[in-house]
A and B are shown apart, each in its own frame.
Chain A
Amino acid sequence: MAEVLVLVEHANGEVKKVTAELLTAAARLGTPAAVWAGPGAEGGRARLAEFGAAKVYAADSADFADYVTAPKAELLAQLAASASPAAILVAGTTEGKEVAGRLAVKTGAGVLTDVIDVEAGPDGAPVASHANFGGSVFVHAKVKGGFPIIALRPNSVAPQAASGDATLEPVSFTASDAAKSARVTAHEVAEKSARPDLSEAQIVVSGGRGTGSADGFHVIEELADALGAAVGASRAVTDAGWYPHAFQVGQTGKTVSPQLYAAVGISGAIQHRAGMQTSKTIIAINKDPEAPIFEIADFGVVGDLFTVVPQLIEEIGKRKG
């Protein structure tokens, strides 16, 4: 079986969850081979083995962190030439998509972004699914000839444990001068909250204009903490400056597909739904029974969030306690 290359997402030596999802998807198309860009592959091997990586191509170079996206695309292009993969999978993060785009130009391969599922089609060739127009249409796409480059949206495929050897294969790699034209001169990590990452979280609690103020928005954080969830916000909230823009969910914000999405004081405008409609379970709390969010909610409460949410938090505490 041909290899399927998976670009590993890692930070501080830790393999990110989306990588497990990518390896699971890769196994449906061929033999998963992880690609580790940067130092630390040895430390990440065990985790990659747990999700079925047969091999780990490791290119230990500082260039991946020092220059924007181009070195990663070069590494994948180099491996694509030597491994003749059936597909190349990257995380559908903003950076992952850029790597995919550059790689497509380099290799002349077709690129499918914002993919929510991958399967082998009847002829064995990969078929990727997208949820278009805010999740109202499912489109199944493929590439003509050659291998596809697929950017898979985090949290779309459930990771499955599978054992692999994760044999380490050091790769010699030097970034070209052209790939080193945009230099990263500083890297600032946003204050790390104890909460899970918005795009990877199993549960997301989002607040909207109904919270009324930055102060009122605290109740969203409290509910998120009671559920071990990430916090999201509608654009009305980020526009007002009640919560940072990095947490905006929707068409021009993050796209999330958690197991559970709670929309609190959010009307459910089409642009907001575009970022959360593929969530597995949706609950809504809103005082307006006509709010469009109720059309897609599995469970909804028509009521004032400032009475419903505190009661919910208390109830969660009781049930946990």
Chain B
Amino acid sequence: MNIVVLVKQVPDTESERRLVPGAGTLDRAAADGVINYIDEFAIEAGLQIAEAEGGEVTILSVGPGKALDSIRKALQMGAHKGVHVLDDQIAGSDALATSAVLAAALSKLEFDLVIAGSESTDARAGVVPAMLAERLGLPQLTLASKVDVAGGAVTVRRMSEDGFDVVEAPLPAVVSVVEKTNEPRYPSFKGIMAAKKKPVQSLSLSDLGLAADGIGLGGSLTEVADFEPAPPRAAGVIVKDEGEGGTAVASFLAERKFI
């Protein structure tokens, strides 16, 4: 059972995020990078399945040089090897372009299962796994809060708007997992030492046989027309409760016609 886990490096939400003037894309150089939080659950899911079924976990990430830190962290958790797609021409890619790069990289790898996070905290798109399933012509088992692999098939519990669906498909398949699917492990000291020797292959667009048109800021089909800071919220009224706090809220709600 060979598993590829997709890991994206995202700006730390604790650090200041800003947009590149002109392009309107995220200024990735200005923010500290961390593993997209939900991807840690994808890594853990991959490790657990590989431990149960045998096989290797490969971490695939498309991103700038710094993304290597996130790949390393996944290797410290126990993944076997990494593939880093790195090319200046990728910068500024939207989800559709990113999914094209990921699909090209996946077609160079051997796998039974691709596991992604359900959503990245910077893009909040939640579209890349579905796009990959479409591009690769593989079953889409996304938004899983539980993943079971047995007998060449995968079954997930998919979160839906009004509850959940049980979804089943033969392997190979694309899965995405939601937050809290499992308890992502912390790298052990041994894991940290072992990770230093694990291979990470670096690939460019030409290694993938991908032309740069359709990729990057210029190649993306979406573009930012302009952006502005959100209008500041008018300062609110803050009162201290001296026995009338609840009544004060009720008066405010009545004034605004909520009650």
B227's partner among A135, A138, A146, A178 (CB-CB below 8 A) is: A138
Given A270-B13, A301-B239, CB of A182 within 8 Å of CB of B141: yes
Q: Are B249 and A302 in contact (CB under 8 A)?
A: no
> Quick check: which of B75-83, B160-168, B193-201 contacts chain A, the rest being far away?
B160-168
Give per-residue flags for A179-201: 1 if the beta carbon is below 8 A from chain B beta carbons, else 0.
00111111111101000010000
Within 8 A of A (CB), among B155-210: 155, 158-170, 173, 179-180
Task: Count residues on chain B whose CB falls below 8 Å from chain A CBs.
Answer: 81
Q: What residues of chain B lie closer than 8 Å to A190, measured between beta carbons?
A: 162-164
Q: Are A203 and B222 in contact (CB under 8 A)?
A: no
Cα distance A178–B136 when bound, in Å? 10
Within 8 A of B (CB), among A120-165: 121, 127, 131-146, 148
Q: Is B143 an interface residue (CB 8 A)?
A: yes
Q: Are B230 and A135 in contact (CB under 8 A)?
A: yes
Cα distance A142–B13 when bound, in Å? 26
Q: What residues of chain B lie closer than 8 Å to A102, measured between beta carbons?
A: 130-131, 133-134, 140
Given A70-B134, A139-B24, A186-B165, CB of A270 within 8 Å of CB of B14: yes
Within 8 A of B (CB), among A263-281: 270-271, 274, 281
Minimum CB–CB distance from B150 to chain A (whole Å) comes to 14
Q: Is A62 an interface residue (CB 8 A)?
A: no
Q: Range of interface residues on chain A?
A: 35 or more
Given A141-B222, A251-B13, A289-B240, CB of A301 within 8 Å of CB of B24: no
Q: Is A83 an interface residue (CB 8 A)?
A: no
Give per-residue flags for B127-141: 1 if the beta carbon is below 8 A from chain A beta carbons, else 0.
111110111011111
Cα distance A184–B163 when bound, in Å? 13
Given A141-B223, A143-B223, A252-B37, CB of A114 within 8 Å of CB of B241: no
A245's partner among B140, B180, B220, B241 (CB-CB below 8 A) is: B180
Q: Is A310 an interface residue (CB 8 A)?
A: yes
- The closest CB in chain A to the CB of B145 belongs to A245
Q: Are A143 and B222 in contact (CB under 8 A)?
A: yes
Q: Are A285 and B259 in contact (CB under 8 A)?
A: no
> Quick check: which of B52-60, B61-69, B91-99, B104-112 contacts chain A, the rest being far away?
B91-99
> Quick check: which of A31-39, A91-99, A206-214 contacts chain B, the rest being far away?
A91-99
Q: Are A301 and B165 in contact (CB under 8 A)?
A: no
Give per-residue flags for B201-231: 1 if the beta carbon is below 8 A from chain A beta carbons, else 0.
0000000000000000000111111111110
B221's partner among A109, A192, A251, A259 (CB-CB below 8 A) is: A109
Give per-residue flags for A72-115: 1 if the beta carbon is below 8 A from chain B beta carbons, else 0.
01000000000000000000011101111110111011111110
Q: What residues of chain A lie closer than 8 Å to B158, measured between beta carbons?
A: 68, 184
Cα distance A250–B119 when bound, in Å? 13
Given A140-B227, A186-B165, A302-B241, CB of A283 within 8 Å of CB of B252: yes
Q: Are B38 and A137 in contact (CB under 8 A)?
A: no
Q: Are B258 and A260 in contact (CB under 8 A)?
A: yes
A319's partner among B127, B245, B250 (CB-CB below 8 A) is: B250
Q: Is A300 an interface residue (CB 8 A)?
A: yes
Q: Is A2 an interface residue (CB 8 A)?
A: no
Q: Are B167 and A307 in contact (CB under 8 A)?
A: no
Cα distance A311–B239 when bound, in Å? 15
Q: Is A240 an interface residue (CB 8 A)?
A: no
Give per-residue flags for B15-58: 1 if the beta carbon is below 8 A from chain A beta carbons, else 0.
00101000010000000000001100000000000000000000
Q: Are A95 and B240 in contact (CB under 8 A)?
A: no
Cα distance A114–B256 when bound, in Å? 28
Given A181-B139, A189-B162, A190-B162, CB of A314 within 8 Å of CB of B236: no
Minimum CB–CB distance from B226 to chain A (whole Å) comes to 5
- The closest CB in chain A to the CB of B19 belongs to A137
Give per-residue flags for B112-153: 1 if the beta carbon is below 8 A from chain A beta carbons, else 0.
000000110100111111110111011111110000000000
The chain B residues found within 8 Å of chain A, CB to CB, are 13-14, 17, 19, 24, 37-38, 94-96, 99, 118-119, 121, 124-131, 133-135, 137-143, 155, 158-170, 173, 179-180, 220-230, 233-234, 236-241, 244-250, 252-254, 256, 258-259
The chain A residues found within 8 Å of chain B, CB to CB, are 11, 68-70, 73, 93-95, 97-102, 104-106, 108-114, 121, 127, 131-146, 148, 178, 181-190, 192, 197, 203, 227, 238, 245-246, 251-253, 255, 259-260, 270-271, 274, 281-283, 285, 289, 294, 296-304, 307-316, 319-320
Q: Could you jot down 19 A-B contacts, CB within 8 Å?
A: A68-B142, A70-B140, A93-B161, A97-B125, A111-B95, A113-B95, A140-B227, A181-B169, A183-B168, A185-B168, A187-B165, A190-B164, A227-B253, A283-B253, A300-B239, A301-B249, A302-B241, A303-B241, A311-B247
Can you name 10 extra interface pairs (CB under 8 A) apart from A143-B223, A301-B238?
A: A94-B161, A101-B96, A101-B99, A101-B127, A101-B130, A188-B166, A227-B258, A294-B238, A307-B245, A315-B247
